Amino acid sequence: MADAATYTDKGKPFERDMTYIPDRLRAGDEPADPLEGAYGADPDAPSWPVEPGRYRLVAAKACPWANRAIIVRNLLGLEDVISLGMPGPTHDARSWTFDLDPGGVDPVLGIERLQEAYFNRVPDYPRGITVPAIVEVETVKVVTNDFPWITHDFFFEWREHHRADAPDLWPADSREEMEAVMKRVFTEVNNGVYRCGFAGSQEAYDAAYERLFAALDWLEKRLTDRRYLMGEAITEADVRLFTTLARFDAVYHGHFKCNRNKLIEMPALWGYARDLFQTPGFGETIDFEQIKAHYYRVHTDVNPTGIVPQGPDESGWTTPHGRG
């Protein structure tokens, strides 16, 4: 997400703007997801057809919300049907830019700024230019930036294009419990670290801090006697938690003042995070240098000097996790 646009007014708690372009990519012949209506999807949102090669996922490695989409694309084997464009880790108030590509231009979309794809769809688009975003290649128009539903639809709507051994990221027998777990992970952990980092007052920060670590303690306990959040198999819930855990010690502990303890000091969570990091599809999407550059350079209100720390030591991520 374009976090520079989400700072909180002084004295107020942080609130994330969750208004996105609601369009969906739908296969048409897939049965409707029975739980969609309960979890925020707009049933009347415009639909775009599932069509290999038609869309490009634009997702910066630096961003945890975009990182989810990259991981799910990898796990499901969608690399050959949905291309991937990756902006650099830093951006200004206008937009993410493709400064990692030759000439600073995305080689497929032919644009320098993701903002161009938004403006092609909605001239003078008034909200933040966020990642992940699905862009139609031919028109270079953004289709949707509704990040929770992008990964949902990768699973449910693109099944015909999954690889044969793709994991069942949304198991039917535990779906309702998983939705509840993901809701708590989002509100208290994924968003909780931002609630700490962008708190507009001491009171707001203190409350956010207590909420975050209460949730991390709950997760530590939950993961003490199970390998993954829902049991013995990886699900979407694990993807959503992992991207925050991967950034915790490098960014959130210091930059966002989430400093009761580090991830490496929570045995179950640290083992769990290493287990996922070492699973194909996860660890290769993590670039700690890009992550640190994004947070420490873009969030100038939090870190006005722009200095990027050298640590922490990353070697622990590849040590045995003991959770097999």
Name the percent of the chain in helix, strand, coil, to the closest 5: 45, 10, 50
Residues 6+ apart with CB under 8 A from 5: 17, 93, 128
The answer to the question of whether 218 is labelled as a binding residue is: no
Which one of 20, 194, 205, 295 is the catalytic residue?
194
Contact residues for 72 (Cβ-Cβ < 8 A; gap 6+): 151, 154, 155, 169, 236, 239
Decide if 162 contacts 78 (C-beta within 8 A).
yes
Residue 196 falls in the annotated catalytic set: no
Radius of gyration, alpha carbons of the chain: 19
CA 138 – CA 159 distance, rounded (Å): 23
Distance CA 78, CA 154 (A): 8
Do 95 and 114 contact (CB within 8 A), yes or no? yes
Residue from 20, 55, 63, 296 carrying the catalytic annotation: 63
Q: How would you class 232 by CB atoms within 10 Å of its CB: exposed for 0-12, middle for 13-18, buried for 19 or more?
A: exposed
Residues 6+ apart with CB under 8 A from 243: 64, 65, 67, 68, 71, 190
Q: Which helix (H) or strand (E) holds 73?
A: helix 64-76
Tell which residue, 69, 23, 28, 21, has the closest CA to residue 43: 23
Residues annotated within the binding site for glutathione are: 96
Residues annotated within the binding site are: 96
Q: Which residues are catalytic?
A: 63, 194
